[in-house]
Amino acid sequence: MRVFGVVGWKNTGKTGLMERLVAEITGRGFSVSTLKHAHHSFDVDQPGKDSYRHRAAGATEVLLSSRNRWALMHENRAEGEAPLERLLARLSPVDLVLIEGYKRDDHPKVEAHRAETGKPLIAPGDPTVRAVASDVPLEGLEIPVFHLDDTAAVADFILSETGLAPQPAEPAAPPAPPKLRDDCFALPDGVEWAPVDEVLARLRDSLHPVVGRRTMPVAKALGRVLASDAVALRSNPPHANSAVDGYGLAHAATGEGAQSLPLLEGRSAAGAPFEGTVPPGHAVRILTGALIPPGVDTIIMQEDVVAEGGRLSFNGPLKKGANVRPAGEDAKAGEPVLSAGRHLGPQHLALLAAVGRSQVEVFEPLRVGVLSTGDEIVEPGATAEPSKTYDANRPMLLGLARKWGHEAVDLGHVADDRARLRAVLDEAADRVDVILTSGGASAGEEDHVSALLEEVGALSLWRVAIKPGRPLALGMWAGVPVFGLPGNPVAAFVCALIFARPALSQLAGAGWPEPAALQLPAAFEKRKRPGRREYLRARMRADGQVEVYESEGSGRVSGLVWADGLVELEDEGRHIRPGDMVRYLPFSGFGL
């Protein structure tokens, strides 16, 4: 097991460097553990905790465990503080152990250094310090010196020093996500009609990500979902730089009224910084994006000065720090910049690249299988027989899955043949992460989806108090969740937006999205009975009022094209008159 240390005086940034190194090195596929020396009166346990009471009662060791982690606490008592070797022996095998502190031990180390602390370097007198990470240039050292924020370079050095390859040949596969329970959709005893809010709450509480994880290049991660928080490997900007073309100087050397300062030879440009320090009372040419040289804390725009004869003339007073972009203004190294569950768009890729991330951990795409059932269903154009129904649901649901960023898998159509349906579900369970069916979700004699789910003991037939819709068959088939949607296309569409969209998002690792909602005045009149939540196809007019489709018939698919959203009417009864405020859910708020 390889070890490398990070040392430094107080407030030199060693903990921040440790944090960034862990993120950088694990991001390259290596396993890393850490060991930190805690100083003074710090304790890993606190009075009042159960573990503290166990120790106070005389326990030699207390093993504290939760679903997230476990920690072993050992009482030093008579033997005193444990030596480093004994602590290292407690760790499980990993590629690398990073040690913070323990500067007197003889393992190799890198020293964190900040000039503002005024502390002398440990390095010159300690042969175990193999490199320095400093926030200012250092000269005269016989060991490598890196910038304190250049985490990638420090990581390269440590991996080289410890004999680890620059990149692992094949990163270890992340653990498979846990399966859903077969009874995760079960309703409480005695519940037959479930309100929409209760159904949504139970789905939200029952589901968790079912997809695997992988590390991939940021440039190829568009549309993926972050599987873990993305931490900045470098501050952005990494060093203070100029926001304008102008001249840099020390604010303390300026005053009010007419000012004149000698102008130094040379300049600081982006990618070509000024070499040296700007003395007090002097100025230097500086361009947009250029690093701020030592001795400069303020920049005056070139439009506000006259530069002639080696002198810079301008009128004061100046604002201290003007036109200076401080280091870490956008993002600070070691801090999360994007949270797990975020869908990555082009703007997110820009941020990840700006903070030095070349790779990112993402969830694999959720594979959504779509299956149509029923003897009456045929492919569009297959026949003109009026007793047959063209399959509108399958292309619609496949399109929704793709629009929501999932991998849509066409499972085809199965007639009312229970044996054939069983075979298709068995085959689909090996190909997809979740199955959407339409039709067969009621309790009739030809509703084979419900019958088969009930046969294997994993059916929950939810009678949802919703219009259009109502029957919603939920269950598990060979460990794969199955959502049985209504057969009517309008009802299937509405149920997919209200129930399937957030459920699929949760299964994909992107969390539970809430639809965007607007309160708009109604351009219609309607008397609604209590007992069910209703969703009316609707669209917003140019005057800001919302109108509804002429018919509530759930067989009129054209109403979905006419509409650009839904009006949601609460469970209670209501008489809506023109001008009354109603809740409007635009299709764009459903990711469409």
Kindly write down the DSSP assignment for every residue of 62-84, as one continuous string: EEEE-SS-EEEEE--GGG-SPPH
Going by pLDDT thresholds of 50, 70 and 90, the confidence category of residue 140 is confident
Beta partners for residue 472, in sequence order = 462
Average pLDDT over residues 356-368: 91
Architecture of domain 367-507 in CATH? Answer: 3-Layer(aba) Sandwich (3.40)
Chain CA centroid to CA 339, Å: 3
Identify the residue whose tokens are 């805690």: 38
Give how far Cα 330 sits from Cα of 27, 231, 355, 477, 499, Å: 22, 13, 9, 48, 38
Q: Quick one: fold of 241-325? A: Molybdopterin biosynthesis moeA protein; domain 3 (2.170.190)
In the chain, ranges of CATH 3.90.105.10 domains: 213-235+330-363
Q: Which residues contact 428 (CB under 8 A, 6 or more apart)?
A: 369, 371, 409, 411, 435, 477, 480
Range ranked top by mean pLDDT from 54-58, 204-208, 488-492, 545-549:
545-549
pLDDT of 172 strictly over 60: no
Name the burial class of residue 527, with classes exposed (0-12), middle (13-18) and buried (19+) by CB atoms within 10 angstroms of its CB. Answer: exposed
The residues, ordered by sequence, that sit 6+ positions from 284 with a Cβ below 8 Å of its Cβ are: 247, 248, 249, 263, 264, 266, 267, 268, 274, 278, 293, 296
Contact call for residues 480 and 435 (beta carbons, < 8 A): yes
Given a cut of 60, is residue 443 above it in pLDDT?
no
Cα separation, 308 vs 68, whole angstroms = 66
- Which superfamily does 2-161 belong to? P-loop containing nucleotide triphosphate hydrolases (3.40.50.300)
The share of the chain scoring above pLDDT 70, in percent, equals 91
Q: Which residue has the higher pLDDT, 78 or 586?
A: 586
Which CATH number is associated with domain 213-235+330-363?
3.90.105.10
* CATH 2.40.340.10, domain 518-590, yes or no: yes
Cis peptide leading into residue 166 (ω within 30°):
no
pTM above 0.85, yes or no: no
